[in-house]
Structure 1
Amino acid sequence: MTSKETFHGRLLIGSTGSAAVATLPMYIGALRSVFQGTITVLMTHTASVFLPPHTVGLFADRVVTGEPAATWPAANHATLAAEHDMTVVLPATAHTLHVTAAGGAPNMLATTILAATHPVVFFPVMTGDMWNKPAVQRNVTQLRSDGYHVVDPAWGPRYDVTLGRFVESPQPPPPPLFIDMVRQLMPQNEAVSPLSPAR
């Protein structure tokens, strides 16, 4: 059960090119009920095709896409890594897991993860066949060995937009699990009861 105590921090959410990114506003809204810090969303190009950045901006404090190039001096991999206490990648595609496990930097999100010294948590979202592939599992093992956190997805019936039907596959994390992981791994977070006096 998710604690009702509030907590703080500077959270960076990396969103990648999966149809599941359409549910991102739901997660941010749920997080707002207990999280009193700042939320920045860094979207890959494909993520911004699935979900318009200006829609995400209705829920997040800041949205970064890396475009146009004129924004790079203020929002680049170095500043984003330094200005946040934790990065959560949701949804994390098989491609993103592979790129990070290999130390690649093909886009701003991957480069920011590579530059980060704070906790990075991946919430994988993909089909069951993809998740079970030895190559994907090798990448997960490598990421954990490198100090990243990869949350094992729960399985259940999920509507696959590419197949147009329900299939048994890894599920996006339920919002309470998402919130608990952010709370647990946020460095130096100080839980504050809703009834605590302001300081």
Structure 2
Amino acid sequence: MDFSYLKNKKLLIGVSGSISSVGISSYLLYFRNYFKEVRVILTKSAEDLIPASTVSYFCDKVYTDQKDENGKRYSHVEIGGWADIYCVLPATANILGQASQGAAINLLTTTILAHPHQTLFFPAMNDVMWQKKAVARNIQQLREDDHIVIDPVEIMAFEVSSGKRKLNRAIIPPDKALIEMAEIIETRIEHQVTS
């Protein structure tokens, strides 16, 4: 596939507090090969797992719920307007619930509301959570609101909370995630041409 049209596009990734966020560096390195610029929003829970100073090595800029170097809060309107595409990767059950209700609880969720396009969600959670009716309901609502939710893949993985190997729902690999992003941009370009 030719992804050259992504070279002038700006990617924003919201990272929530799933244990899979510790692997975000491999996704960021992969995406940086294709996009003009990659920026990240970290929730407080994500920061507890992987510090902003570490994430900053793999992207162009990191935003947190803390104040910037000038003592000001980051502007969700500015950040949301900057991005050509906004992905939440990984998206926890908590973030899916907040976003489905239009809640503006932190910088990540507030930016979803301030982003002019649909947001792309890549859920990651244990299988018990994934099977809950509330999670299915929240995903259905997000899709009805024109957001895109990419179903996770089933894997056997070590579950930190239980200390056991269990069935979990993981984010699709970076190359497949890129295809999902590219399809959104392609559809948007086609729509602009025909309108």
Specify if TM > 0.5. yes
What does residue 45 of structure 1 align with? 44
Q: What is the aligned length? A: 184
RMSD: 1.6
Q: Distance in 2 between matches of 1:123 and 1:66?
A: 21
What does residue 26 of structure 1 align with? 26
Amino acid at match of 1:21: S
Q: Determine if contact 1:44/1:65 at 8 Å carries over to the other structure.
A: yes
Q: Distance in 1 between matches of 2:127 and 2:39?
A: 30
Amino acid at match of 1:154: V
> CA 1:56/1:188 → structure 2, altered by over 3 Å: closer, same or farther?
farther
What does residue 135 of structure 1 align with? 134
How far 1:60 moved relative to its partner? 0.4
Q: Distance in 2 between matches of 1:163 and 1:149?
A: 31
- Which segments of 5 or more consecutive residues in structure 1 lack a partner in the other structure? 190-199
> CA 1:162/1:37 → structure 2, altered by over 3 Å: closer, same or farther?
same
Moved more, 62-71 or 125-134: 62-71
Q: Determine if contact 1:19/1:50 at 8 Å carries over to the other structure.
A: yes
What does residue 72 of structure 2 align with? 71
How far 1:67 moved relative to its partner? 1.2
Q: Distance in 2 between matches of 1:20 and 1:4?
A: 29
Where is the helix percentage greater, Structure 1 or Structure 2? 2
What does residue 106 of structure 2 align with? 107
Q: Determine if contact 1:155/1:169 at 8 Å carries over to the other structure.
A: yes
Which TM-score applies when normalising by structure 1? Answer: 0.87
Q: Detail structure 1 runs of 4+ shifted over 4 Å in the superposition.
A: none
Identity of aligned residues (%): 32
Q: Distance in 2 between matches of 1:83 and 1:5?
A: 20
Q: Determine if contact 1:156/1:168 at 8 Å carries over to the other structure.
A: yes
How far 1:115 moved relative to its partner? 1.6
- Which segments of 5 or more consecutive residues in structure 2 lack a partner in the other structure? 191-195
What does residue 125 of structure 1 align with? 124
Q: Determine if contact 2:39/2:59 at 8 Å carries over to the other structure.
A: yes
How far 1:4 moved relative to its partner? 5.5
How far 1:16 moved relative to its partner? 0.6
> CA 1:121/1:5 → structure 2, altered by over 3 Å: closer, same or farther?
closer
Deviation digits for residues 33-67 of structure 1, max 9, x if unmatched?
3x131111001111111001011100100000031
Q: Determine if contact 1:66/1:76 at 8 Å carries over to the other structure.
A: no
> CA 1:182/1:71 → structure 2, altered by over 3 Å: closer, same or farther?
farther
Deviation digits for residues 115-141 of structure 1, max 9, x if unmatched?
211131000000101010001100000
How far 1:112 moved relative to its partner? 0.6
Q: Determine if contact 2:122/2:149 at 8 Å carries over to the other structure.
A: yes
Q: Distance in 2 between matches of 1:175 and 1:37?
A: 17
Amino acid at match of 1:125: A
Q: Distance in 2 between matches of 1:111 and 1:184?
A: 25
